[in-house]
Amino acid sequence: MEPGIYMGLLPVISRRDFLKLTGAGILVLAARVSGGAAAAQLVPVLWLLGQGCAGCTTAMLEATSMDPVGVLVGARIYSVSFRVVANPLFSIVSGEEYLDVLRAAAEGGSARLPGGEVVDFSEGYVLVVEGSLPVCRDPVTCMGLPEALYCYLGIEEGEPVPCTEWFRRLLARASALMAAGTCASYGGVRAAEAPSYSSSGLPVTGAVGVFPDPVRGRPGLLDMLAEGRDFLSRGGVAVAVPGCPANGEAIIRTLASLVLAVEGLAEPPSLDAYHRPVYIYAATTHEQCPRLSEYEAGIFRTAPGEPTAGCLFRVGCKGKRSNCPWNMVGWVNGIGGPTRTGGVCTGCTMPGFPDAYEPFWRRSGGRRGGGRGRGARSG
């Protein structure tokens, strides 16, 4: 924690330190206090964590345009309120209570949360998926082992319930779907290629994203599963917010736009060829990089870590074939971002990541070329 400015005996701490120190306690307190206000015209948000590191949930807490605590306990946009009623890291419910919320949502029922608030899922909800989900559809994929071995959530009738099964159940009544992070969007790190391994287009872990990965030739869950095809056929809105992790601002802003779309108060965001919001991912990292002037002037770093402001292209930066604004606007409140701080862009918002962009610190960028979203330019 940074040193506080003392007023009497009480230190003044930053908002971020306050979140770190109080964590779940503030969520429980706020849920009990805000109760009725957040329930008016409430759009529930369910968060399903699959094969992931929970980095995107953590990144969401770094957002500054909207209070992330409000998103977890009840936030309001115009006449609509929404809240994340189930998240495995920051929910006020856990264990069987958490699973009961998911079951109630899948059945279109209602669930009572600690503090007495009743959440009604009969009108649908926004489903957020973080992390890839395993699909073990043949004897080769997943080495012939069941999906639950690679990702499961809870036990029913003595058997583990695969996370992919939860996705099937919850998608059936979802009004909108957001894939948070590259693992959820396209498979990401969990879908990385294994040497000397071949199957029916899937990685050894069976890891699949919500959307297809055209770079690695992988299908997406929405196309593979009957529930996914049904979701799309009834007009369900599905959006990818990739990144490793996804940026907190991108997560919250996209989530808010989906809530408004579900309530008919706004159009869903326009998407590019990789199902990402155009207003976030239209331009390449290169076009928005604070080192672009050095590139134009022919000033480059010649080695990683070199103490210069030179462009990072020659030491492996993949910004020319990646779409991401955070090096321009900053990762948190205008601060940070890989190329701002001397790191190369690794292409983490793109299909094919990480395989198509490795090794990260080499100019060639790996075995395959990455793609660019619709509306992006080559730079």
* Long-range CB contacts for residues 95-104, cutoff 8 Å, separation at least 24: 96/154, 99/153, 99/154, 101/46, 102/46, 102/48, 102/153, 102/166, 102/169, 102/170
Indicate the pTM of the whole model. Answer: 0.83
* Local structure of 253: helix, strand or coil: helix
DSSP string, 18-50: HHHHHTHHHHHHHHHHHHHHHHTTEEEEEEEE-
Amino acid type, 182: T
Q: What is the pLDDT along the chain (379 residues), one digit of tens a residue?
A: 443 332 333 344 555 554 444 444 444 444 444 444 444 578 999 999 999 999 999 998 888 888 777 787 778 888 888 888 888 887 777 788 889 999 999 999 999 887 788 999 999 999 999 999 998 766 556 666 777 678 889 999 998 999 999 999 999 999 999 999 999 999 999 888 876 555 556 777 788 999 999 998 889 999 999 999 999 999 999 999 999 999 999 999 999 999 999 999 999 999 999 999 999 999 999 999 999 999 999 999 999 888 899 999 999 999 999 999 999 988 988 888 899 989 999 999 999 999 989 888 887 543 333 444 334 433 3
What is the structure's pLDDT at 251?
A: 95
What domains appear along the chain, each with residue ranges and CATH number? Answer: 5-279 (3.40.50.700), 282-379 (4.10.480.10)
Residue from 306, 268, 248 nearest 62 by CA: 248
What is the structure's pLDDT at 7?
A: 32
**88, 98 contact by CB (below 8 A):** yes
How many angstroms separate the CA atoms of 241 and 185, rounded? Answer: 7
**Number of Cβ within a 10 Å radius of residue 106:** 18
For the chain, report the end-to-end CA distance as a whole number of angstroms: 41
Joined tokens for residue 367: 């075995």
What is the structure's pLDDT at 137?
A: 66
Residue from 73, 95, 92, 93 nearest 82 by CA: 73
